[in-house]
Amino acid sequence: MKKVITESNELKKQLKRIKPGVVAVAYLGKGWLDYLGKKLPDKLIVSPTPGSNPKSIREAIKRIGIKNVYFLDELHAKIYLGKSEALVGSCNLSRNGFEENEEAAVLIDDKKGVETLQAVIANYTALARDAYPEDSDKREKLKWLDKHKLKPQKSLGRRRSNTKSSLEDYLKKPNKSIIHLSTFVVEDYKFNKQIINKKVPETQGVKDLASYFKHTFGLRESLAVKPGDWLLLCGANKDGTPRKAGRIYWMFAHYVISGGVSDKSDKSVTKLVATRKGKEPPFPFELTDSVKDGIRKQWPTKKQEDHDALFKNNKTVEFLSDVMGKLRRVRK
């Protein structure tokens, strides 16, 4: 059976579900770890040419070993190959591929299709070994890529900012939007359809709730988020600390549903926050690169309890004021 997928949420969900042991993509970019789930691939084949991020490639080498990262300049395929299923399409393993751009992919779960892709991967691997036979060849190519990497451009996709307000503007407002901050790791929860159908009647008959909503997020029941609040989410390491290149993004709480999800890895996560599709309210402030970096640096370290306290007690304004203060000192 083959299934065509175009929704960002569904693409991310299926990628994590199939747990690819082999990934072959033209470009590896920022945020790549956010999309793979808990199990990293055993093999990565990538084109070390402008478009790939050299820092991301080095991060992959550090995590799975340089001998398991193969370089093939001419590679333009995007294949995520699991044991019995595969995702093949237009999505590079990057934030652009799974968040910014309009992408499409085909889910393949028949034996013949998977075997064909295994043969394709074997061919790519052989070509890559011929092109870069030594580890030193890969390192030299990365030095070249450092000098020739593409300069970041403003996104033209679905994530562009919908506000002109700065962090400084937000902090000056007397009536501020309520913002909750939280880190996120791999989302491993399941929807409780019966409860969601009752709270959101228009979801009755919807088979794929991940694609029905624009964004979804699972929380502990004790965290006091209400409809109309904002979540500011930051990609995290396993210990809950923000990753250096972790994605940071806004999420508006159209729906807050107690008991809407269940999570095998964390039974305390039962509350669902969801954003419906369509136009969102203006973001509280624009997430510029300097603001994102400031948030990552200011975030509490190591103890997950600190993160929960920051979220639960809504100390957001105090936290963001500290971020703004440090940004002002840097400017001077």
First to last CA, the chain: 60
SS3 sequence of the chain: CEEEECCHHHHHHHHHHHCCCEEEECCECCCHHHHCCCCCCCEEEECCCECECHHHHHHHHHHHCHHHEEECCCCCCEEEECCCCEEEECCCECHHHHHHCCCCEEEECCHHHHHHHHHHHHHHHHHHHHHCCCHHHHHHHHHHHHHHCCCCCCCCCCCCCCCCCCHHHHHHCCCCCCEEEEEECCCCEEECHHHHHHHCHHHCCCCCHHHHCCEEEEEECCCCCCCCCEEEEEEECCCCCECCCCCEEEEECCEEECCCEEECCCCCEEEEEEECCCCCCCCCCCCCHHHHHHHHHHCCCCCHHHHHHHHHCCCHHHHHHHHHHHHHHHHC
Show pLDDT as tens, one digit a residue, over the chain (332 residues): 578 888 777 888 899 999 999 999 999 998 898 898 788 999 999 999 988 999 999 999 999 999 999 999 999 999 999 999 999 999 999 988 887 777 889 999 999 999 999 999 999 999 999 999 999 999 999 999 998 877 655 443 444 556 678 999 999 988 888 898 887 766 667 899 999 999 999 888 888 787 788 888 888 888 888 999 999 988 777 666 777 667 788 999 999 999 998 887 778 889 999 998 877 789 999 998 889 889 888 877 655 545 555 665 557 888 889 889 888 876 65
Q: In the chain, what are the domain boundaries?
A: 2-148, 167-331
What lies within 8 Å, CB to CB, of 180 at 6+ separation is 223, 225, 229, 230, 231, 232, 311, 314, 316
Residues 6+ apart with CB under 8 A from 281: 252
Q: Name the CATH code of domain 2-148 (choices 3.30.565.10, 3.30.479.10, 3.30.870.10, 3.40.640.10).
A: 3.30.870.10
**What is the model's pLDDT at position 157?**
41
Q: What's the pLDDT score for residue 331?
A: 64
pTM of whole model > 0.75? no
pLDDT for res 328: 82
Q: Give the model's pLDDT for residue 113.
A: 94
Instruction: Write the CB contacts of 43 (distance below 8 Å, at least 6 apart in sequence).
Output: 21, 22, 23, 64, 68, 70, 121, 125
- C-alpha 99/C-alpha 158 separation (Å) is 7
pLDDT at 63 (0 to 100) = 94
